[in-house]
Each structure stands twice: as structure tokens, then as C-alpha cells.
Structure 1
């Protein structure tokens, strides 16, 4: 995986109604959707222009709906600490997926929600 650290590497649409989100974004932007081959509950988004990858995440109504960009970082836990020191807050504590990817959701001092993640160590370029 050749991702640029501190660049936007993913975007995510979290929703309690994935089918409606897919209809909306599909009709609006021409995006298409497919099952995530890794087995995660995502529907992978393909864009006509081949931009940054993304996915639709079914929240099951367990959190507010959202659309966020996700920044690639070297160390998710350390980035959370730096965000808090800079006046931000951690909304979702760092979590490790079954593939080794570690992610978290943050809020900047202005209240904007965004995500960060570090890829599995065997996928770092």
C-alpha cells in the first residue's frame, strides 16, 4: 500500500440507512457500491474519477449519521494524544480491526468531526 502519511486516504459515510445513502450518492455523483472483500461491514465506494477510496458504514442507529474524511497517520494513539494537546477531542477511541488497521474519530477545536487511521504494519510503504 503506498499511502502518503498525513494525506487523506479514505472517506466514510456512516448511516443508519445504507440503502438510502447509496441511492442518494449514486444518483447525485454516479458512485457505485460493492461488498468489502475483507469481510468488514462496509460497502466500498467507487467514484467515476477514481478519487480517494471510501465506504458506507452501517451504524445500526448506534451513533449519529456522519460523513468524514480520514487522514493516514503513522501512529493512531499518538495522533489522538497530539489532537487533545492541540485542543481537539477524541470521539471514538483507537480501535484495531481484524486486519491490523487502527482507527479513531476526532473532533477539531471548531467542532468538526474527522477520522484518522494507521494501516497494518505489513502494508506501510
Structure 2
């Protein structure tokens, strides 16, 4: 549903260590995302068929974080609205080869969060 938290993300400059930590802590399993243009691993909670989040190997491009991601109708329009409300675009709109568009933002308090729009259809 649009404008709801629909994903979570853990980002780390040491994704192997993060995968071990969360795997050992919660029993999560990880599978590579073949459509991602970077090191991105889908997170599956125990007993869940569909992933509920992702582990992003940042390569130092963005700060380490664990955050929520909101499903939006239009990533570019939402980025513009964030800026008009005093927030900041941390990483510009990116579309992966599978057609998912996303961006990382700061709210007015500096909290990092993500937005995304899945491919049409």
C-alpha cells in the first residue's frame, strides 16, 4: 500500500559481518538480489517465503544504517517534496535493472530513511 512502511534495510560497509550477526541473532537467511546494481541481499525471516528486507553492502557510499523504507507512487516527486519540507536527498533516485526506483533521504532531524517504487506491473 502506498505511503506505508513496506521494507526494511540494513546497510553495512562490512556486509559479511552484518549477515553473520543478523543470521545468528534472528535466524534470517540471505539471498543475492540478481537485479541490484550493487551488493544487495534479500533478507528472509524464518518461515517466510517472501523477503521482508534487504542487506546493502555500502562500499562506504552511504553511512551504515538500519532503517525503514516507504512505498511511494513517485520517487522523484517524493524527493522534491522532502526537500521542500526541509529534508535532504542523501542519494539520488536510482533505478535497478529490475525497474525498482529508490532513494535515501534525511528528515528534518537528520534521520535516514528510504523510499521506493517497484516496477510497473
TM-score between the two structures when normalised by the length of structure 1: 0.84
Q: Aligned pair 1:26/2:23, yes or no?
A: yes
- Structure 1 residue ranges without an equivalent (≥5): none
- Structure 2 residue ranges without an equivalent (≥5): none
Question: Is the alpha carbon distance of 1:82 and 1:52 closer, same or farther for their aligned partners in structure 2, counting shifts above 3 Å?
Answer: farther
Q: What is the match of residue 71 of structure 2?
A: 72
- Within-5 A mapping of 1:1-125: 4-38=1-35, 41-48=39-46, 50=48, 53-122=52-121
SS in 2 for 1:69: strand
SS in 2 for 1:109: coil
Of 43-52 and 113-122, deviating more is 43-52
SS in 1 for 2:7: strand
SS in 1 for 2:31: strand
CA distance in 2, matches of 1:85, 1:68: 22
CA distance in 1, matches of 2:9, 2:73: 20
Aligned pair count reads: 119
CA distance in 2, matches of 1:35, 1:49: 18
CA distance in 2, matches of 1:52, 1:114: 19
SS in 2 for 1:74: coil
- The answer as to whether partners of 1:8 and 1:52 remain within 8 angstroms in 2 is no
Root-mean-square deviation (CA), in Å?
1.9
- The answer as to whether partners of 2:12 and 2:56 remain within 8 angstroms in 1 is yes
Deviation at 1:37, TM superposition (A): 4.3
